Amino acid sequence: ERPAYQATTWAALAARLGQPSAAALDLQAPQTRISLSGAQDKAAIALFADGLPQLPLGTSPSTHILKPDIKRLAKVWHSAANETLIMRTAALCGLPTAEVFYEPLTQACVVQRFDRQLRPDGSLGRLMQYDLCQLSAIASDKKYEKEGGPGVAECAQLIRHYSSVPAVDLKNFLAWLFFNLYTGNNDGHAKNLSIYRAPGGGIQLTPFYDLMCTRIYPGLSREFALAIGGEVLPGAMTRGHVEQMAQSMGIRAAFALGIAADMAQRVPVAMEAAITAVQPDLSPGAKTLALRLQSFVRKTTQQMSKCLLSKLVLNV
């Protein structure tokens, strides 16, 4: 059966997204997580050479995921601009990251699917991918380490077991952890790490996805999804925790600290470049978020890297 698609427009998609959905959930619980099931409406779309959106019909494969602003979590504003900027920042830091752009009419983060491959006949093939929860036979509703999901050591073990380039993937995994700490993404759990057979390559970690700054929103969990050396509160993490984490992963502490230092240098510069690139497409409200985000990330990177890299324990 040949893939079939229905032509649409960004304006039509915006109108559809504008229809009222479930009421916003107020963030009363102090440990609310951003990835509450159904917190975000998403749409699978296809974008080909002409750049015009199409809707896949039947079982036809999509090429992109349209992620509009999260409406169902009160106090979470301009999440699409947030995700676009943090994803772009990650890519500019040298992390393998899914390609994204901000679409102004739908006010959405549009993410290119990396689990698709263009076949020689021009058709699209689906690539199998498995997240680290699936690979450790843990139900997806237990994705947080706190609930029984894989921790840092288990993730490292799974990467070593499955990846054909474990040294590269372990380095990228560490860089991702420190990037999340510096950019205030407390929601980086094992379900946000996947392994696939890369097009024309071996089995390896997929590009990173679902990156955003959660700490900028009041009411979301203050705890980092993966404990670093047993500590989940970013503000309480020290060099000792990084050394402990490295030991649990079977890597040298100096290697982990080197990646932490390198990422601290890259993040503020990359964030600035990402904002410069995306800003023209942002609404006034999203531009305000971008400026707050830049200030928050700069400050957090400075504070976190100082705590993680300093040999002195200061009683401040």
Any domain includes 314? no
Any domain includes 247? yes
**Residue 144's pLDDT is what?**
72
- DSSP-derived letter for residue 202 is -
Any domain includes 10? yes
**Residue 124's pLDDT is what?**
86
SS3 category, 310: coil
Consecutive 10-residue averages of pLDDT for the chain (316 residues): 90 84 40 46 89 92 94 86 98 98 96 91 88 83 73 96 97 98 95 92 95 94 95 97 98 98 98 98 96 98 96 54
Cβ-Cβ contacts under 8 Å for 96 (sequence gap 6 or more): 172, 205, 207, 208
How are the residues of the chain apportioned to helix, strand and coil, as percentages rounded to the nearest 5?
40, 15, 40
Any domain includes 40? yes
Please state whether beta strands 116-118 and 108-112 pair in parallel, antiparallel, or not at all (unpaired).
unpaired
Any domain includes 315? no
Any domain includes 51? yes
SS3 category, 157: helix
**Residue 39's pLDDT is what?**
55
pLDDT digits (tens, 9 = 90+) for 146-196: 677 899 999 999 999 999 999 999 999 999 999 999 999 999 998 999 999
What's the one-letter identity of residue 265? Q
Q: Which two tokens stand for residue 27?
A: 């963030």
How many structural domains does the chain have? 1
Any domain includes 228? yes
Any domain includes 233? yes
Q: Which domain holds residue 218?
A: 4-309
**Residue 263's pLDDT is what?**
98
- CB 273 within 8 Å of CB 92: yes
